[in-house]
Amino acid sequence: MNQQKCILVAEDNPDDFVLLRRGFEKAPLTHKLVHVCNGKLAWDYLLGEPPFSDRNQHPFPDLLLLDPRMPALDGFDLLRLLQSHPELSALPVVVLSSSLVESYAKTAKRLGAREYLVKPMDLDEYRDLALGLHQRWLVDSIPGAPHKP
């Protein structure tokens, strides 16, 4: 049995977050999904800045799902910030976009994203997305391995 992981979801569209959460529920996966509505809040969360300074309440994520186009600090700028902080380089980042633009995918990968995925169209596809993310990024390869920072 896999322990519950924390997934930080930086997504400015609340409807997309609800669909993602429902996909995880339908999977059924019990990971904790933490929603922030822009890249600036995601950055504050990652650094443990207020209002996210209590790591018991706001644990460091095991995975970051990132919309590339958001207000305050877009996903590409957040990826640039992550690149400039080597202590955060172990955090897997998956860009989840509604755009099929190939240059977005290339830019995301160049900036350190592990994957670039297009947002699904229906709840069954969101369930499949959740299962895939779980298998690729959240299943511990070594039982009892130390938790990431």
In a domain, 146, yes or no: no
In a domain, 147, yes or no: no
pLDDT tens, position by position, 8-37: 999 999 999 999 999 999 999 999 999 999
Helix or strand run (H / E) with residue 118? strand 115-118
pLDDT tens, position by position, 111-139: 999 999 999 999 999 999 999 999 999 98
In a domain, 145, yes or no: no
Residue 91: half-sphere exposure toward Cβ, Cα within 13 Å: 28
Task: Please give the average per-residue pLDDT across 40-48, as a whole number.
Answer: 96
When divided into structural domains, the chain yields a total of 1
Q: Tokens 């995301």: give the residue.
A: 108
First CA to last CA across the chain, in angstroms? 22
pTM for the complete prediction? 0.89
For the chain, percent of residues with pLDDT exceeding 90: 79
Paired with 10 in beta bridges are 36, 66
**Calpha distance 103→117 (Å, rounded):** 13
Collapsing DSSP states into helix, strand and coil, what is residue 117? strand
Instruction: List Cβ neighbours of 114 (8 Å cut-off, separation of 6 or more).
Output: 92, 93, 94, 137
In a domain, 144, yes or no: no
In a domain, 104, yes or no: yes
pLDDT tens, position by position, 74-122: 999 999 999 999 889 889 999 999 988 889 999 999 999 999 999 999 9
Name the residue range of residue 23's domain: 6-138
In a domain, 75, yes or no: yes
In a domain, 67, yes or no: yes
Collapsing DSSP states into helix, strand and coil, what is residue 45? helix
CATH number at residue 38: 3.40.50.2300
In a domain, 1, yes or no: no
